[in-house]
Amino acid sequence: NLTAHRYANQKYVIQGVNIESGDKIVLNGVIHTIDSVLMPSDVSISEYLGTHETNFADLYAALVLEGFENALEFGTYTLFAPRDDAFAQILANLPTIAADDTYFKKVLMYHVVPGVWFSAGLTDGMSLPTLAGTNLTISVQGSGVYVKTAQVIEADVPLSNGCLHVIDDVLSPPK
């Protein structure tokens, strides 16, 4: 199945690929011009993290520790996924954070947004609700997209139940 999205900024996206022009009526259907090849995915967010251990071993281990990985199998989400090198930056504080189970779970849930938000739909100043119950603020500076202070370093990984954006820092929710 292909999923199309229309964002408030009037951008249209299908599986993370921008629709440049659409609705060209031809004899046997309709043609939409897109800016990239569509790559189908039958892998969920959780499966993707579990099979990309070189980048997301710490994130996936944290999700498993909290019993949250199964939640990312069902539903439609956008995950702002910090790579392992981002987790390494907070390792000194990790025992303190992990000791507070409620806060640790909130940190993980703060990276997950309900719905599918490909980069074409992210606009400067927009606020996205998270599963932690608080919002993330998006900023667009030049060609860079930021979630709070974390930069999106790889955008628009389409997955069967949403999408994933790789970020360079672990997001900390308000306490």
What's the whole-model pTM score?
0.84
User: Cα–Cα distance between 121 and 175 in angstroms, integer?
Assistant: 28
Domain that holds residue 86: 37-167
Structure tokens that stand for 93 in this block: 């504080």
Residue ranges for the chain with pLDDT beneath 70: 1, 91-99
- Tell me the pLDDT tens digit for each residue of 39-85: 778 899 999 999 987 899 989 988 888 888 888 888 899 999 999 98
pLDDT at 143: 83
Give the chain's domain count.
1
pLDDT at 153: 96
Q: Name 12's Cβ contacts closer than 8 Å, sequence gap at least 6.
A: 4, 5, 6, 18, 19, 22
pLDDT at 93: 66
Residue 133: CB atoms within 10 Å: 10
**Residue 25 lies inside a defined structural domain of this protein:** no
Q: Over the Cα atoms of the chain, what is R_g?
A: 17
pLDDT at 20: 84
**Residue 32 lies inside a defined structural domain of this protein:** no
pLDDT at 159: 92
Concatenating the DSSP letter of every residue in 51-109 gives H-HHHHHHHHHHHHHTT-GGGGGSS-EEEEEE-HHHHHHTTTTHHHHHHSHHHHHHHHH
CATH number at residue 127: 2.30.180.10
pLDDT at 96: 65
